[in-house]
Amino acid sequence: MARRKSLISQILDARKQAKKLQAQAEERRHRELVAEQKRQEAEARREVLRAEAAAKKAQAALAREETRAKRLNDQAAAKAAREAAQRERAEERLRTATARAKTQDAAAARRTAEQEEHARRIAEAEFRTDAIAGKVAAYAQLLVDRNRRTADWTLELRAALSNGGPGGFVERLQHLLAQSRYPEGLTGRAAAHYEPTSRELLIEYELPLQDVVPTVVAYRYSMTKGMTPVPRKEPETKKLYGDLLARLTLRTLAETFDATTPDMVENIVFNGYVSTKDRATGRAVRPLLISISAERDRFAEIELDEPELDPVLCLRSHLNAIVSPHPYDLEGVRPVMTFDLSKYKFVDEMDVVAGMDSRTDLLKLSPGEFEHLIRRLFEAIGMKSWVTQASKDEGVDGVAVNEDPIVGGLCIIQAKRYSKIVGLEAVHALAGVMDHKRAAKGVLVTTSWVGKASRDFATANGRIEIIEGRNLKHMLKEHLDLDVLISLDKLPPGWTPTDVGRGTSS
């Protein structure tokens, strides 16, 4: 029994132990379950916490991201603002720089324009100065630049004289002279009258006014004063004008002499006028500034191409021209035949031609008849003439006056009805009377001839014309249609019997 209790006890004990162990196991499982639940709950809580933490972390991260994004946005905005500000500043700097550059460019352009304008005005001043110098130089070259081919006109002028007479000759000569080229401002206008018997050409020339001479010698330009003329000194301006008039006179004479031959033109009377207005009255006036009677041989002595030639001195001293002492002031002079009729005593005219036979011998006329014949000759040529009284005539046999504006003036006449040579003293006496009477020209008319000394003296004087017997015979036939004789005892050298109206030589 005891062993059975023991076994039951053991079984019970075993059961109890088993229950105990089971209870312990259940308790342990319960504890484990509770622990597991707790663990799970703790894990869940931890998960929750982790989730919360993660959420918080995510929120924090999000917040950080947002903050960072905000910061980045702020930074970007700030950067954009900075960049915008920088761009604005850069644009402002660019605008400023552009404006400054434009201002500088404008200033540079202005400076360039000013420099260009300055250079242009300087060039203009130089151009205007050169133009003035060129104009003055062209005036100085008037003689050198004269038409040197006028000799080609001789045959044409001879044909014009043959076919059209003096009028045709003058018309053609004026046309040919008009072809001569002059500097700008000079016209070369001239009128003319021709006396074929005396081989004298009368020229009336339209001289230029003073304004053709520049009163400015140069132009200067400066930025401060602008274009400034440099005035020419008044004495220089007046000298240039007088020099110009003299050169025009010499050039016209030279071209005319070159275009004609001695048998056509032996002497040229040149009167140079200017057409202007009298400031005191406003009326048109034509003062005479130059008057000259130039003989071909005398003129041929002039070296026109010589640079040292003084044209005014040449006119006054060599050619004995009457030149205005003040041409720039348009102070007129009297023509080469100036006169004062109150100085002379005149007698009534005598018509000796009406009672003359066409073959009358001039040496058989009385002195009075011969003098009145000469008067009629001068009138036929186109001049008014009077014969002076025989007594107290101071060596003057007559005076001739031409009222034509080209040749107007006084001419002293000495008539020598000689059969022998007229001596040099007669020519000297004529020159003395001319000076005393202030006559511009003197004519010695003789039925005979003069010697070389007389001709040389007349040429040197420049205002004395000698008409020898054979020329006188030709002029009487030409102008009065008188075929006269001159019964000289002997013929001078070079003359032929027909020169004096004889058929055979003596």
Out of 329, 351, 370, a domain closes at 329
Of 329, 358, 389, the position where a domain reaches its end is: 329
pLDDT at 32: 72
17 occurs within a structural domain: no
User: 224 and 124 in one domain?
Assistant: yes
Taking each helix axis as running N to C, give the angle between helix 469-480 and helix 367-381, from 0 to 180 degrees, rounded to the nearest 10.
60
Query: Which value, in Å, is the radius of gyration of the alpha carbons in the chain?
Result: 63
Residue 179 resides in a domain = yes
Domain assignment of residue 5, yes or no: no
* Ordered DSSP codes for 471-487: HHHHHHHHHH----B--
Co-location of 283 and 360 in the same domain: no
61/54 Cα distance (integer angstroms): 9
Q: State whether 320 and 354 are in the same domain.
A: no
271, 401: one domain: no
- Do 267 and 372 reside in the same domain of the chain? no
Show the tokens assigned to 111: 């400076």
Element (H, E) at 16: helix 2-140
What is the span of the domain harbouring residue 484?
A: 341-500
Same domain, 97 and 133: no
- Within a domain: 9: no
DSSP assignment letter at 317: I
CB 234 within 8 A of CB 213: no
pLDDT of 338 reads 39
| Domain count within the chain | 3
Q: Are residues 325 and 368 in the same domain?
A: no
Q: Are residues 274 and 178 in the same domain?
A: yes
The confidence score (pLDDT) of residue 368 equals 67
The answer to whether residues 167 and 256 belong to one domain is yes
DSSP 266: S
Q: What is the pLDDT of residue 249?
A: 94
Q: Please report, as a single letter, which amino acid is at residue 441.
A: K
Q: What is the DSSP string of 78-91?
A: HHHHHHHHHHHHHH
- Quick one: pLDDT at residue 407? 52
pTM confidence score: 0.51
Residue 100 lies inside a defined structural domain of this protein: yes
The series of mean pLDDT values per 10 residues for the chain, 506 residues long, is 62 74 73 72 72 72 74 77 79 82 83 80 85 90 90 89 90 85 82 87 90 91 88 94 94 93 92 89 91 92 93 92 88 64 39 48 78 79 59 56 58 86 89 79 89 90 89 87 83 83 52
Output the pLDDT for position 264. Answer: 93
The answer to whether position 237 is within a domain reads yes
| pLDDT at position 403 | 58
Asked if 68 and 92 sit in the same domain, the reply is: yes
10 within some domain:
no
Instruction: For residues 440 and 293, give the distance between their C-alpha atoms in angstroms, rounded to a whole number.
Output: 9
State whether 320 and 345 are in the same domain.
Answer: no
The pLDDT, as a whole number, for residue 262 is 94
* 358 domain residue, yes or no: yes
226 and 88 both lie in a single domain: no
Q: Give the model's pLDDT for residue 110.
A: 82
What integer pLDDT is reported at residue 503 of this predicted model?
56
- Check residue 100 and give its pLDDT: 82
Q: Which CATH number does the domain housing residue 407 bear?
A: 3.40.1350.10
CA-based end-to-end distance of the chain = 240
Domain final residue, candidates 291, 309, 329: 329
Residue 265: predicted pLDDT: 94
